[in-house]
Structure 1
Amino acid sequence: MTVMVFALLLLGAVPIALVLALTAMWYIYASGNTVLFASYPQQLFSAIESYGLLAIPLFMLAGELMNEGGLTRRLIALARIFVGGFRGGLAYINLIANMMMAAIIGSAASQIAIMSRAMVPAMEHEGYDKPYSAAITAAGGLLSPIIPPSMLFVLFGVIAQVPIAEMFIAGLLPGLLLGLAFFIVIAVVGLLQQYPRGQWPSRQQALADFAWGLPALSIPVIIIGGILLGIATPTESAALASLAALLIGRFVYRDLDLGRLPQVLRRTAVNAGLVIMLIAAAGVFGWVVVYEQLPQMAAAWIAALTTDPFMFLLLLIGVLLLVGMVIDGIAALILVVPIVLPIAQNQFDISAYQFGVVVCLTLVMGLLTPPVGAGLFVASSMTGAPPLKIFRALLPFLLATLIILVLLAWQPWLTEALIDR
């Protein structure tokens, strides 16, 4: 009966946070364990009682300040210096700028929204197909869960109780590998569609763009460098990045209007509040899942299917692709990790780092696949291109992502090589 309540609420377009919270309340009522109602508020609070979660609103704030302060525009100009003259040059610029923004924003949906506004009109002006332009921008959102700082990595680290800084490091090689795969896709599509060659900037313009781009480039350096060198925790790096974005946007580029700060802070608070509310509700739902001993039942079922770690991860990728198509990635992560991670570690000896990278990347693919596909609708609303046309243009990028996922499942060293043991 509890499963039916969950399904009805989900299909009834009830916000996922309410679906999880109400399903947990129904379970307590239907099971007759009404004494658990007394622990309900405590479970809600304990789910978000983690210092690491503070990084989420701070990274959101850094992204908002960068967009308002003109840092995004300078990063795009900086990318043009290196790839602007190739065939399909703007597509490469879009991807490199997305990789830089992935090292700052950490949220796929936010990244797609910001980069759609910045890149798609310019690509369309130079003769690129609008759905293809939107698809490259949306594909760039797939980089956000594995190139640090990733909000999903922050959340996974809190749930799995592994160091968030080490999760960030685990995502570096897979992120570069995925970026390389996307470069290959752009090169092949550019040749087949005969997209125009870009123009290399003049020496004078390149030097000017490089000089103006360095302050903006300092933001990902602060975040990643601070974590790798052990100078700052991920949360402290997020705070430093937000401060640096504010100072650079205001005093270096002079594009940041302090009068707009209240709107920036309000957007950050609303978006972060939605995420934190979802985490709290999912924490209560996870409490019910553990109480019902679902992890043990799932472990017995999976053990009957395979004993090979690689096959287990392939099965997990297939299941999570379906889950990600209908449930938000953050909610799915909170639901899946407490159940499946103990099985992966205890029965298949899979490290938390490999598991986390594979799970996070797989779930974000759901952001770009129907029927829900929130990322598709964000890209569509920002650009005016139909979601299904964007999805068709996205298929080569999704196929490349699947290949990388299989490679990550097959070769665990790709996620563990840079971690200091």
Structure 2
Amino acid sequence: MTGVVFLLLLFGAVPISIVLALSAAWYIQASGNTVLFSSFAQQMFSGIENYGLLAIPLFMLTGELMNEGGLTSRLVQAARVFVGGFRGGLAYINLLANMFMAAIIGSAASQIAVMSRAMVPAMEKEGYSRDFAAATTAAGGLLSPIIPPSMLFVIYGVLAQIPIGDMFLAGIIPGLLLSAAFFVIVALIGLSQEFPKGSWMSAQEAISALRDCLPAALIPFAIVGGILFGIATPTESAAVASFVAFAIGTLVYRDLKLARLGEIFIRTAKNSSLVIFLIATANVFGWVIIYEAIPQKLAAQITTITSDPFVFLLIVNCALFFIGMVLDGIAALILIAPILLPIAQNNYDIDPFQFGVIICLNLVLGLLTPPVGAGLYITSAMTGSKPMSIFRQLYPFLAAVALILVLLSWFPSLTTALL
């Protein structure tokens, strides 16, 4: 009966955090277990009683300060130095700038919104179709959950109780592979279409663009470098990155106005509170799942199908793809990870870091696939293109993601080599 209540609320357009809380409450009431009832609030609080989760609002704040402080436009100019002269150069600039942004923002939806405003009008002005420009920008947003820092990695690290810094390291090679695959796709599309010819900057312009970008480049170094060298935890690195973004925006670029800080803080608090509340309610729902021994029952069913870890991961990839089509990535991660991770570790001896990278990349595909496809609608709202027109242009990029997922499933070393 609890499952029926869950599905009715979910497809009744009730916010997923409320769905999780009410479904858990319904189960507790139906079970008549007073111990579960008295522990409800305690379980919600324990879900967010984790120092690592503080990184989420801090990464969000870093992205907001970056946008307001003029760092985004300077990163785009720096990308132009390296790839702007190739035919179709602006498409490459779009992807390279997305790589830079992925190393700072950590949220695919936020990155898609920022880069759609920055890149699509510029590409359209130079002769690219609006749909292709929007699709390239949306695809670049898929780099955000893989290239560290990643909000999904932070949440997964908390759920799996593994070091978040190591989780960031696990995403570096997959992120570079995915970026390379996207560059190849743009090159292949360019062979069949007459992309506008790019132009290289003069030496003086290139030096100026790189010099202007240097302060902004401090942010990913502050985040990833601090973690790699053991100087700071991911949460402390996020705090340092927020401070660096603030200092650069106000003192170096001077585009960030102090009068805007109140609005930035309020927007960050609203967005991060939604994620934190979702984690709290999901912890109660996960508690019910564990109480009912659902992972053990599901493991018994799956192990009758295959004993091969690779085949298991392929099954998981297919299942997660469809789950991501109807659930937000963060919500799906919180729901699925506590169920599937014990099966992956205990029954198939799959490394938790490999599994985390696979599950996070797979679920974020839901941002760009109907019927929910929040990323499609964000890109559509920012550019004026129709969601399905963007989706048709995304086919090659989605195929590349599927190929990378198969490689990550077959070669665990792609995620564990740097650990």
Normalised-by-shorter TM-score class:
over 0.9
Question: C-alpha displacement at 1:34, in angstroms?
Answer: 4.0
- Aligned-partner SS, 2:184: helix
Secondary structure, counterpart of 1:87 in structure 2: coil
Q: Aligned equivalents of 1:229 and 1:89: distance in 2?
A: 35
What is the match of residue 127 of structure 1?
127
Alignment partner, residue 344 of structure 2: 344
| Corresponding residue for residue 399 of structure 2 | 399
Letter of the 1:404 counterpart:
I
Note the alpha carbon deviations across 1:144-192, whole angstroms, 9 max, x for none.
Answer: 1110000010001101010000000000000000000000001111221
- Rounded to whole Å, the distance in 1 between the matches of 2:317 and 2:74 is 37
Q: CA deviation at 1:96?
A: 0.6
Secondary structure of the corresponding residue to residue 243 of structure 2? helix
Is 1:274 the counterpart of 2:274? The answer is yes
Shift of 1:396: 0.5
Alignment RMSD: 0.7
2:249 counterpart letter in structure 1 = G
3-state SS in 2 of match to 1:305: coil
Deviations 1:103-160 (A, max 9, x none): 1110000010111111111111111111111111111111111100000100011010
Where do residues 308-327 of structure 1 align in structure 2 (5 Å cutoff)? Answer: 308-327=308-327
SS of corresponding position for 2:96: helix
Percentage of matched positions with identical amino acids? 67
| Cα displacement (A) at 1:35 | 3.9
The 2-side partners of 1:169 and 1:200 are apart by 34
Identify the residue that residue 141 of structure 1 maps to in structure 2.
141
1:360-402 C-alpha deviation (Å, 9 max, x unpaired): 0000011110000111111111111110011111110000000
Report Cα offsets for 1:34-70 as digits up to 9, x if no partner. Answer: 4422111001000000000000000000011011000
Quote the Cα distance in structure 2 between the aligned partners of 1:193 and 1:311. 38
1:209 Cα offset (Å)? 0.5
1:153-192 to structure 2, matched below 5 A, reads 153-192=153-192
Indicate the residue corresponding to 2:385 in structure 1. Answer: 385
Paired with 2:316 and 2:197, the residues of 1 have a C-alpha distance of: 41
Residues of 1 paired with 2:147 and 2:187: CA distance?
22
- The SS at the match of 1:304 is coil
The answer to whether the aligner puts 1:215 opposite 2:215 as a matched pair is yes
Question: Residue in 2 aligned with 1:362?
Answer: 362
Deviations 1:20-45 (A, max 9, x none): 00111111112222442211100100
Structure 2 residue 62 is the aligned partner of structure 1 residue 62: yes
**Are residue 11 (structure 1) and residue 11 (structure 2) matched?**
yes
AA aligned to 1:211 is R
Partner of 1:382, secondary structure, is: helix
CA distance, structure 2, for counterparts of residue 34 and residue 9 of structure 1: 24
Amino acid of the structure 1 residue aligned with 2:10: L
Cα deviations across residues 188-237 of structure 1 (Å, max 9, x unaligned)? 11221111111111111111111101111111111111111111111111
CA distance in 1, matches of 2:273, 2:131: 32
- Runs (5+) with no aligned partner, structure 1: none
Counterpart residue identity of residue 345, structure 1: Q
Whole-Å separation in 2 of the counterparts to 1:270 and 1:198: 41
CA distance in 1, matches of 2:263, 2:135: 29
The normalised TM-score by structure 1 is 0.99
Question: What amino acid is aligned across from residue 281 of structure 2 in structure 1?
Answer: A
Partner of 1:376: 376
> Which stretch shifts more, 193-202 or 303-312?
193-202
- Deviation track 1:272-315 (CA, whole Å, cap 9, x = no partner) reads 00000110111110011111110111100110010000000000
Residue 337 of structure 1 deviates from its aligned partner by 1.1
The one-character-per-residue Cα deviations of 1:217-263 (angstroms, maximum 9, x if unpaired) are 11111111111111111111100110000000111111111111111
Residue 239 (structure 1) aligns with: 239
Partner residue, 1:333: 333
1:41 aligns with 41
Distance 1:255 1:94 in 2: 22
Query: Which residue in the other structure is 1:292 paired with?
Result: 292
Deviates more, 1:26-35 or 1:353-362: 26-35
Q: Distance in 1 between matches of 2:222 and 2:135?
A: 29
TM-score normalised by the chain length of structure 2 = 0.99
Alpha-carbon distance between aligned partners in 2 of 1:383 and 1:38, rounded to the nearest angstrom? 50
State the one-letter code of the partner of 2:67.
N
